[in-house]
A and B are shown apart, each in its own frame.
Chain A
Amino acid sequence: MPKPISTGTVCDGFLVGEGLLRGGMATIYEVTKPGYDLPMIMKVPHWGHGDDAASIVGFEVEKMILPKLTGIHVPRFIASGEHDTCPYIVMEYVKGMSLRHYFNVAPLTIDQVQRIGIKVATALHDLHQQRVVHMDLKPSNIIFRESGEACLIDFGFSQHQDLPDLLKEEIHEPLGTAPYISPEQIFFHRGDPRSDIFALGAILYALITGTRPFGFPTSVAGLKRRLYEDPKPPRLLRAETPKWLQEIVLRCLEVEPTNRYGSAAQLAFDLSNPEQVYISSRGKKVYPDPWWAVLRRRFVSFTYEPEKTETAQLQLSRAPIMMVAIDIEGSSEDLLLSLKESIQRLSKEKDYRIAIVSVLKISRLGLDASSDEKGKSYHLKKLSEIKGWSKNLQVNEANVTYHVLEASDPATAIVDYIRHNNVDHVIIGARGSSMMRRFLGSVSSRVVSEAPCTVTVVRTPRQEIQSST
């Protein structure tokens, strides 16, 4: 029989302190142990006669997944206790404000929604890169650390693609939380990272408008309404909602995963670059779809079968963010052509994103004149250059963004950009191999050595000959 745990008991050396929260499935206690100086909590499941299997298995799932997770966006795993003797999980006590708090005071300012969205999407991408899909993202499962980062908690419904999915056998009703659950989860599909993107879309919608996009249904039939009833456009509920933000949120809430963002990193990217978000009819609409369109979708929904679920790893590999680092003035025509060919070869995936980036070199002291003699800002000139160059790239315009970085050290600026935007693949031209470059080190060689991702260095076939003559 499991040993009862309550305030004052000692379990495997952990002194159980105050109860912090009594939830439906578990009680959370603060705990201490000699030798451990970080704040810790103990999660103790409520098990007894008549407990539903999903809650027991959910505890087992969290016990399997949490020790695998690392980084600032998850609580640190400390220890776990065995089922027969004393079932518990001890983890870091993440102190900070829960998103639930912001949710209670919604609607928030557009700036606040944007900042929260970027933080949560960044945390989600980090989780997905660890091959885990949360499957129950909701305001109370997101805590903002005192240092600002979003931390995701409660992995009881999660799926790790390299561990047995214990819940698969236990599902008799949709697992998730009604306002945020994705359409495919209603049909028991588990493990697609885009399910979490749907949930984040529902959270952002509520933060913008103060209302949940699909209400709080209590039956499976009620949950299924999201298959055919489109949420009221945020611009209808709150007129000052920018089109770019509505575009982003409604894209997250698409019924088919394939119509959502391919990765949470791409979502964070759009939230960080609102002026470059491609506005489709989603962003422009002011009224919900007409009744006949909803009725038609309702009929179609009777035979709805979610598309095949992708694993986190496969889906992320299909949705790369590529960065093209380019210096048009300093590159030969041949190199510019080779760069274009490389982009076309590498942008075969449907969900790719391309950021075309150029660096405007400024002096270290920042004393450059910001305009040339014609009064045209160097920045805009550079932007026009890269946009002009990209005209016949033959890639989907909606997937391309343009950026000019101002920096004294181009290589550092490019590497910082890569880190900040979770870039998966950089394409950069090698402008030559002169003695001077070999001696000083080129931008591309520094990017190759310092970038935390794949780097393709493009050379033209005749580059070596040209540069040596």
Chain B
Amino acid sequence: MKYALLADIHSNIEALDACLEKVEQFNPDQYIFLGDLVGYGADPVAVLNRIRSISNRVVIKGNHDAAVAIAANPNMREDVRQAIDWTRMQLQQSDLDLLNQLPLTFREGHCLFVHANAISPEKWSYVLTEAEAMHNMNAVQESVIFCGHVHEPKLYSMGSNGRAQLFIPTSGVSIPLIQSRKWFSIVGSVGQPRDKSTLASCAVYDSDKNQLTYFRVIYDYLSAADKIRKAGLPTFFADRLERGE
């Protein structure tokens, strides 16, 4: 089974289309959207429609999706909350229902797909350290966990010594996820990259060959940023796209 992995799109249709074009080259059997389809960006409707147009899809709920569908988390920053409220205004009830009904996790074979973390997906806590990745890998049966939430592509692996080790992947180079180890993959963000690069992130995983390939994709971030400003959303989100942080 070949999975296309797309996380943290954040209403950025330019980035989503560029990433879809990239992963389509590999003829994926299934598209996995790892949450946070909306929030920050100016094109929530276009993004949801594009995802709906893909038949072989699995969509996981992210914290921004939950906030738009139900209510903004009181802990959210003011500008983030502003973007959530704006997004809710753009969407139809059917869109909100779709977001509300998304599952928190998806399991298939030796893989677990989740937005934030494998231990308590509904709490949205971040996996930022090797120790946190280790706890996640120990908490589940599956040998490979895919998630988003942290907007930087990363790969943690854990061998027989039980310690997790971080690796920053190189775009386009396939990594064999050998079965004697456990793996925790953060696929990076399609629409809000934050590792000082303006390039969108996505990945393809071939579960038969155990090969994971991360990609960085050039897209028209200037147009995406321009739309954010024109929509009256906080300009910080546009600046971020232009700086990649």
Interface, chain A (partner B; CB < 8 A)? 53, 56-57, 60, 63-64, 67, 82-84, 87, 161-166, 168-170
For residue B169, which residues in chain A have a CB less than 8 angstroms away from its CB? 162
Nearest CB to that of A59 among chain B residues?
B180
Task: Assess whether B159 is in contact with A57, with CB atoms less than 8 Å apart.
Answer: yes
| A407 → B minimal CB distance (Å) | 40
Binds A, one of B66-74, B95-103, B170-178: B170-178
Task: Assess whether B165 is in contact with A83, with CB atoms less than 8 Å apart.
Answer: no
Given A53-B160, A60-B159; A166-B176 close (CB under 8 Å): no
Task: Assess whether A63 is in contact with B161, with CB atoms less than 8 Å apart.
Answer: no
Chain B, range 145-164, C-beta contacts under 8 Å to A: 155, 157, 159-161, 163
For residue A82, which residues in chain B have a CB less than 8 angstroms away from its CB? 179-180
Task: Assess whether B160 is in contact with A56, with CB atoms less than 8 Å apart.
Answer: yes
Instruction: Tell me the complex Cα distance, A62–B179, Å.
Output: 14
Instruction: Tell me the complex Cα distance, A280–B161, Å.
Output: 48
Task: Assess whether A166 is in contact with B179, with CB atoms less than 8 Å apart.
Answer: no
Task: Assess whether A83 is in contact with B176, with CB atoms less than 8 Å apart.
Answer: no
Task: Assess whether B173 is in contact with A60, with CB atoms less than 8 Å apart.
Answer: no
> A60-B178, A64-B175, A162-B170 given. 5 additional CB < 8 A pairs?
A53-B160, A57-B160, A161-B170, A168-B165, A169-B161
B181 close to chain A: CB less than 8 A: yes
Task: Assess whether B159 is in contact with A83, with CB atoms less than 8 Å apart.
Answer: no
Interface, chain B (partner A; CB < 8 A)? 155, 157, 159-161, 163, 165, 167, 169-170, 173, 175-176, 178-181
Task: Assess whether B165 is in contact with A60, with CB atoms less than 8 Å apart.
Answer: no
Task: Assess whether A169 is in contact with B181, with CB atoms less than 8 Å apart.
Answer: no
For residue A169, which residues in chain B have a CB less than 8 angstroms away from its CB? 159, 161, 163, 165
| B187 → A minimal CB distance (Å) | 16
Task: Assess whether B180 is in contact with A83, with CB atoms less than 8 Å apart.
Answer: yes
Task: Assess whether B159 is in contact with A166, with CB atoms less than 8 Å apart.
Answer: yes
Task: Assess whether B161 is in contact with A53, with CB atoms less than 8 Å apart.
Answer: yes
| A47 → B minimal CB distance (Å) | 10
For residue B155, which residues in chain A have a CB less than 8 angstroms away from its CB? 164
Task: Assess whether B160 is in contact with A164, with CB atoms less than 8 Å apart.
Answer: no
Q: List 6 A-B contacts (CB under 8 A).
A: A56-B180, A60-B159, A83-B180, A166-B181, A169-B159, A170-B161
For residue A87, which residues in chain B have a CB less than 8 angstroms away from its CB? 180
For residue A60, which residues in chain B have a CB less than 8 angstroms away from its CB? 159, 178, 180-181
Given A169-B163, A169-B165; A164-B157 close (CB under 8 Å): yes
Instruction: Tell me the complex Cα distance, A166–B175, Å.
Output: 12
- Candidates A84, A163, A164; contact of B179 at CB < 8 Å: A84
Q: Lowest 6 A-B CB distances belong to which pairs? A: A83-B180, A164-B167, A162-B173, A162-B170, A169-B165, A64-B176
A-B contact count (CB 8 A): 52
Task: Assess whether B175 is in contact with A163, with CB atoms less than 8 Å apart.
Answer: yes
Task: Assess whether A63 is in contact with B165, with CB atoms less than 8 Å apart.
Answer: no
Task: Assess whether B179 is in contact with A83, with CB atoms less than 8 Å apart.
Answer: yes
Given A164-B165, A164-B167; A63-B178 close (CB under 8 Å): yes
Task: Assess whether B163 is in contact with A164, with CB atoms less than 8 Å apart.
Answer: no
Given A162-B170, A164-B155, A164-B167; A83-B178 close (CB under 8 Å): yes
Instruction: Tell me the complex Cα distance, A168–B165, Å.
Output: 9
| A376 → B minimal CB distance (Å) | 55
Instruction: Tell me the complex Cα distance, A53–B165, Å.
Output: 15
Instruction: Tell me the complex Cα distance, A60–B163, Å.
Output: 16
Most chain A CB atoms below 10 A, which of B163, B167, B169: B167
For residue A166, which residues in chain B have a CB less than 8 angstroms away from its CB? 157, 159, 165, 181
For residue B179, which residues in chain A have a CB less than 8 angstroms away from its CB? 82-84
Task: Assess whether B161 is in contact with A164, with CB atoms less than 8 Å apart.
Answer: no
| A89 → B minimal CB distance (Å) | 11
Nearest CB to that of A61 among chain B residues?
B178
Instruction: Tell me the complex Cα distance, A84–B180, Å.
Output: 7
Nearest CB to that of A85 among chain B residues?
B179
Instruction: Tell me the complex Cα distance, A434–B175, Å.
Output: 52
For residue A161, which residues in chain B have a CB less than 8 angstroms away from its CB? 170
Most chain B CB atoms below 10 A, which of A57, A84, A162: A162
Most chain B CB atoms below 10 A, which of A56, A64, A169: A169
| A399 → B minimal CB distance (Å) | 31
Instruction: Tell me the complex Cα distance, A169–B165, Å.
Output: 7
For residue B161, which residues in chain A have a CB less than 8 angstroms away from its CB? 53, 169-170
Instruction: Tell me the complex Cα distance, A51–B4, Å.
Output: 38
Given A164-B165, A169-B159, A169-B161; A64-B170 close (CB under 8 Å): no
| A234 → B minimal CB distance (Å) | 41
Task: Assess whether A63 is in contact with B176, with CB atoms less than 8 Å apart.
Answer: yes
Task: Assess whether A53 is in contact with B175, with CB atoms less than 8 Å apart.
Answer: no
Nearest CB to that of B175 among chain A residues?
A163
Nearest CB to that of A170 among chain B residues?
B161
Instruction: Tell me the complex Cα distance, A84–B157, Å.
Output: 17
Instruction: Tell me the complex Cα distance, A169–B164, Å.
Output: 9
For residue A83, which residues in chain B have a CB less than 8 angstroms away from its CB? 178-180
Instruction: Tell me the complex Cα distance, A57–B159, Å.
Output: 8
Task: Assess whether A64 is in contact with B178, with CB atoms less than 8 Å apart.
Answer: yes
| B54 → A minimal CB distance (Å) | 30
| B23 → A minimal CB distance (Å) | 20
Instruction: Tell me the complex Cα distance, A126–B117, Å.
Output: 41
Nearest CB to that of A51 among chain B residues?
B160
| A125 → B minimal CB distance (Å) | 20
| A106 → B minimal CB distance (Å) | 39
Instruction: Tell me the complex Cα distance, A82–B209, Å.
Output: 11
